[in-house]
Each structure stands twice: as structure tokens, then as C-alpha cells.
């Protein structure tokens, strides 16, 4: 498996970045994912999912 390390400075609030990388419905920016299937979503915001 290839491993890559990248560092970037984003000029926006950290909450905006966090919301983007944890959004399971809008993942088009992730070219390595074809789909995400949400298996279970609990009341305390934990999510069990599978991705391809």
C-alpha cells in the first residue's frame, strides 16, 4: 500500500474543514472512494459505515 503525507494551510475556519472531511453524503472530492454505505447511525452521532 502506498502512503502519502501532505501538508497544507487552509485559510478558513477549522469547523468548515471538519464538516467537509466528515460529510458522508458529499465525498466527490475523495477520488479514492466510489461510494459510502451508512449501515447504522446512532443518537450520539456515531456512524457505522462501509466504503469502496
**pLDDT tens sequence across 5-49:** 888 899 999 999 888 888 888 888 888 888 888 777 666 666 656
Alpha helix ranges (H) inside the chain: 14-21
**What's the pTM?**
0.52
Say if CB 22 and CB 49 are below 8 A apart.
Answer: no
Looking at 1-52, which runs of residues are DSSP E strands?
36-41, 47-51
Contact (CB, 8 A) for 49 and 24: yes
- State residue 12's pLDDT score: 94
CB 47 within 8 A of CB 24: yes
Query: How many C-beta atoms surround the C-beta of residue 30 within 10 A?
Result: 11
Amino acid at each position: 500500500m502506498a502512503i502519502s503525507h501532505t501538508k497544507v494551510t487552509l485559510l478558513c475556519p477549522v469547523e468548515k474543514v471538519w464538516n467537509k472531511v466528515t460529510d458522508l453524503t458529499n465525498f466527490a472530492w475523495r477520488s479514492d472512494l466510489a461510494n459510502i454505505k451508512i449501515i447504522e447511525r446512532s443518537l450520539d452521532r456515531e456512524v457505522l459505515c462501509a466504503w469502496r
